[in-house]
Structure 1
Amino acid sequence: MTYPRPVIQWREGTVVEVLPGWPGVEAVSVEVPDLGTVRALAYPDVVGTPVVGDRVLLNVTALERGLGTGGYAVVVAVPDRPAAWPDRADDDAGHLVKARYTPLQTMVLGADDPEGAHHARLQDADDVEGMPVVAADLHSALPAVLAGIRMVRPTARVVYVMTDGGALPAAFSRTCAELRVAGWLAATVTAGQAYGGDLEAVTVHSALLAARLVVGADVTVVAQGPGNLGTGTRWGFSGVSAGEALNAAAVLGGLPVAALRVSEADPRERHRGLSHHSATAYGRVLAHPADVPVPTGATGRASTDECLVAVARQVEALVSSAPHLRPLPVPVDGLLEALSQTPVPLRTMGRGLEDDAAGFLAVAAAGVHAATALG
């Protein structure tokens, strides 16, 4: 049997225009022979800052395959102008290598790195002191979870732990950048192979400890970065990390809170109502007791209310085979209004709040429960 080999599609091009970017990301328009003009993203902290006229090396693999990258190529290098390259200050020294042994591996200073300021605090740390930890399948859940938290505790200090199931650079998430600017997030911690957060962590365990003991989080939300991976199989999806994250929270003395992936509009049957991702991640991967907030009540939207009733039944069936899960009703009163006021647009799989309200209500309910647990 022969297997397909991993392939990177490289192209060279010339920057013809600098486009609007966001914190941590430069966007450029690049003229590429045989491809024409393409949009490309550059991470200044990794490859430097390209300007008009620069020759750039691009990775166009996902772009040529038409994958869900937002239609961008990625700048790998600005080879001809060393002045554009990022400068590493002495105080940035660290020995954590992320995206290890790939052509784009990068070295970062870890929160618990021996060279770092927090090593002594984290060296023997083993307890997040009852901190609620909300795990979600999709990156798009993050602003909705925060809306739920803020509806109950608007001053709660919330940290986002970004796992490596989706995008690896934290800067790729415009959502994170805008939530930070709005003051909805205190910090982002990048765990595993993900990088570029305010703090870097080797594992989700050390990320949770850093969130609590270094940043002082009241609540931490754990989810993969943008661009989750799924295959339509029982186990082949990156969202299994949600169950693993709650295992870490339980081991470290936190309060595990499972945000349900729900949809009233997904065209795929396996994601309608309660997604099979949540059933697997929390029913099979998660091995410790965890709270499962279930949105209840009427919204006045027939399709949404019908979906929420179905989800409650599905959760009840799930718990019958997964007794470590504790379903807890969370009234949806006021949640739609809270969700309508997020500083970033709510979008999941191309659907907004009007298209799939049940999905956003489910993850917001997890935020409400986490904030309520703070007392």
Structure 2
Amino acid sequence: MTESDTLADTRRTPSAADLRTALEDATLRARDLAKSLGVTEADLVAAQVGHGATRIPADPNRLMPAIRSLGEVMALTRNESAVNERTGTYDDWHPGDHAAMILGPEIDLRIFPKHWVHGFALRNDSGKGPARGLQIFDASGEAIHKVYSQDGTDLDAWDRAVEGLATGDTRDTLTLDPAPVAEGVRSRPEKAEALRAEWSRMTDTHQFLRVVSKMKMNRLGAYRIAGAPFATALPPTALNDALIACGNGAVPIMLFVGNRGCIQIHSGPIDTLKEVGPWQNVLDPRFNLHLRLDHVAEVWLVEKPTKRGASLSIEAFTETGELILQLFGMRSSAVDHSAAFRTMTEALPRL
């Protein structure tokens, strides 16, 4: 047995009481605090059950109608490298067992219910930060989606909704699955010609993942072998260049940030960009983006044919091949492209 094995054997897993004490003294954000303690963010929230947290169902069919009754709230969806925060109401709910949607004019979500496993409502009476929150986690304790109260939120309706949703489960610990291993890049160079042929026949962007899955590849693996005009490699700095250009040029965009359980879409212009350390931030009144520029390892300019014209996107990936975000020009019901967005992309550097 090595020295590191001995240390691992003697290291005590923090109890719920330990986690509550750590939260009281914390200066780190919850996600970073959880990492420093060797637990998940879901463990931190579960430790607060009976101390400001209440267990609720994670079922979107139960949650979405309840959230709609709260009025204006802030929706937050993130992955390790990007955070999308959007203020609005949860309108136009479309349920589904495999995929569901919120299609409001401001809050726009694609939901994959099988990953919505652990749900909590939080109440904060400290006067610091949002007064109320809902947090959803997957089976491994990874944050999937969060909802926070705002100045326009009906807090009485919030408390009634939580009372109606409460499961009555008072346990302050969780049993979690191991975190899934990152898929990495799956590519089949010998299938490049077949991929390009299938790609050119697409009539809708949603067909793309079916095409690459059939060929035993994934998104990034396909981009690496498709070649122009389907996929063009850009330097990692091109993503930040594109955000700045869209802000300066008032180019409306659709910005997708997601994880395995939820994708959140901002549609519209971006205005105020502020770079702080490794983070690029969009700090607009009803939309915030927080992006770790140092996590961006690959950027691709991707073009897919549709019945309504070519769809053009800028897509960023981490060093391990995980999708960070996708950036499209603002589309309309008539076309899948934006002339202003294409013009912006033409000025970006190529590898």
**The two structures share one fold, judged by TM-score above 0.5:** no
TM-score calculated relative to the size of structure 1: 0.25
TM-score calculated relative to the size of structure 2: 0.26
The structure with the largest strand share of the pair is 2
